[in-house]
Amino acid sequence: MSKTIRKVLIANRGEIALRVIRACRELEIRTVAVYSTVDEHALHTRFADEAVCIGPGPSPQSYLNIPNIVAAAELSGADAIHPGYGFLSERADFAEIVERCGVTFIGPSAAHMRLMGDKIRARTAAQRAGVPILPGTGLLTNAAHAVVEADRIGLPVILKASAGGGGRGMKIVRDPAALARTFETAQAEARSAFGCGDLYLERYVESPRHVEVQVVGDRHGAVVHLLERECSIQRRHQKLVEESPCAVLDDHLRASICEAAVSVAKAIDYHSLGTVEFLLDGDRFYFMEMNTRVQVEHCVTEMITGVDLVQEQIRLATGAHLEHLERVYRPRGHAIECRINAEDPVTFAPRPGTISALHFPGGFGVRVDSHVYQGYKVSPHYDSMLAKLIVHAPDRPRAIMRMRRALGECVVEGIGTNLPLHRWLFKQGAFVSGNYDTHFLETTMDPEAVRQEADAFA
């Protein structure tokens, strides 16, 4: 049964709130922004049709405050809520409350969030779908159990939080004598970060690439993929550069990994946007997890397919069919995204403050998604991302040259950013040739050379 969405409340802030506002405006849907007192003058409050304050700056009192957000929806008459990414976007209880209030949640069901948000259950679901998984375990009962299982799997292994993400609760173990101690540390970290200390083990892959596949499913059983994204350039297990297509996939391997992603989504009757993530080890791939939301890096997929993913997400929430997407896409050129963060380019320590001067690049094949402006105050309360710089070109070498040019035009003054790291990265032969893995920055970065890049633009 199809629904009509007339007004969307965006339960988020920053560039993703603006991204949803733009998608809604083109669909002739009115928008409601919510904001903390810190964000009173943010762009998403200015460009939405309405704006409602939901509390003080700290996230638990505002962007994570479910009663205040639901009250804002009722007050404004919004008939749908888009959660964006981060904050409440993968909180099953939030989705349930929204639906119980008679408001459409623009995303998957709460059941899907719970299933794929539990990494142990997600591994089982992937295995049942016939998708390869790394040798591993279910829930570990204690440190002694972990020691027994590690001996069965063989070292090295990696401890992971079942409710985890962003690298928190993840610990690599190479020495059996250190496993029990590491287990306790990882469990405490997971409990602190996620309120759940459940851990499991997987065989550790020494030099993997991180490849993810964009899937789209409707409420009528149709699921398609929109190709893959390469996300191996990371710092502290968090993505920094994403590109599509992946440079090391041939047509056969691309078809296999994309079909595996579709199999996972179909096996759970998934609807809405989703991303199935894999570790690529040579010509073999293994299911890692599934994210049940729009991804930060969705833009590179949009650039190579021409599909507005946020508009598709909204359409799917109304019960629309996917017929117009039911074909296997081939990439149109190459797209690369750099996350520009307010952080030290070497230590990655946050660098909040006021932007005193700002100039974003432009020109053919360049896109910037951002919420900041000259005079904008970067708050310590929220994620440090300032902008996503995306380029598109006919092939990877020309996309790299275009990104170099764009990074050279980008000016952000008054605060520290990771622009020098990006400028250094795009000059490295191994990156340019595509010969890199998820450990590239931690093993290759030259702090002095990165600092010199900063000095060159001072």
Phi, psi angle pair for 302, to nearest 5°: -60, -40
Q: Which of 54, 53, 73, 75 is nearest to 64 (CA)?
A: 54
Residues 167, 305 share a domain: no
Residues 294, 221 share a domain: yes
Residues 198, 215 share a domain: no
The enclosing domain of 424 has a CATH number of 3.30.470.20
Q: Under 8 Å CB-to-CB from 373, ≥6 apart: which residues?
A: 43, 355, 358
So what's the pLDDT on residue 261? 98
* Side-by-side strand order, sheet with 157-161: 171-173, 157-161, 199-203
Q: Which of 363, 360, 338 is nearest to 413 (CA)?
A: 360
Examine residue 271 and state whether it is found in any structural domain, yes or no.
Answer: yes
Domain coverage including residue 182? 135-203
d(Cα 304, Cα 189) in Å, to the nearest integer? 38
Listed residues 88, 106, 124: the one ending a domain = 106
Examine residue 117 and state whether it is found in any structural domain, yes or no.
Answer: no
So what's the pLDDT on residue 329? 63
Per-residue pLDDT of 204-233, as tens digits, reads 999 999 999 999 999 999 999 999 999 999
Examine residue 128 and state whether it is found in any structural domain, yes or no.
Answer: no
Peptide bond into 156 cis (omega under 30): yes
Residues 154, 37 share a domain: no
Residues 277, 263 share a domain: yes
So what's the pLDDT on residue 7? 98
d(Cα 412, Cα 92) in Å, to the nearest integer? 37
Per-residue pLDDT of 444-455, as tens digits, reads 999 999 999 988
Residue 308 near residue 206 (C-beta atoms within 8 A): no
d(Cα 86, Cα 330) in Å, to the nearest integer? 30
Peptide bond into 245 cis (omega under 30): yes
Listed residues 106, 123, 156: the one ending a domain = 106
Write out residues in the chain with pLDDT < 70, as ranges: 1, 326-329, 458
Residues 366, 323 share a domain: yes
Residues 150, 43 share a domain: no
Residues 140, 257 share a domain: no
So what's the pLDDT on residue 292? 97
Examine residue 118 and state whether it is found in any structural domain, yes or no.
Answer: no
Domain count, the chain: 3
Residues 181, 88 share a domain: no
Examine residue 197 and state whether it is found in any structural domain, yes or no.
Answer: yes
Q: What DSSP string runs through 410-430? A: -EEESS--SHHHHHHHTT-HH
- What residues does 244 pair with on adjacent strands? 335
Which residues are part of the catalytic machinery? 293
The SS3 of residue 343 is strand
Examine residue 126 and state whether it is found in any structural domain, yes or no.
Answer: no
Examine residue 184 and state whether it is found in any structural domain, yes or no.
Answer: yes
Examine residue 121 and state whether it is found in any structural domain, yes or no.
Answer: no
Residue 194 near residue 161 (C-beta atoms within 8 A): yes
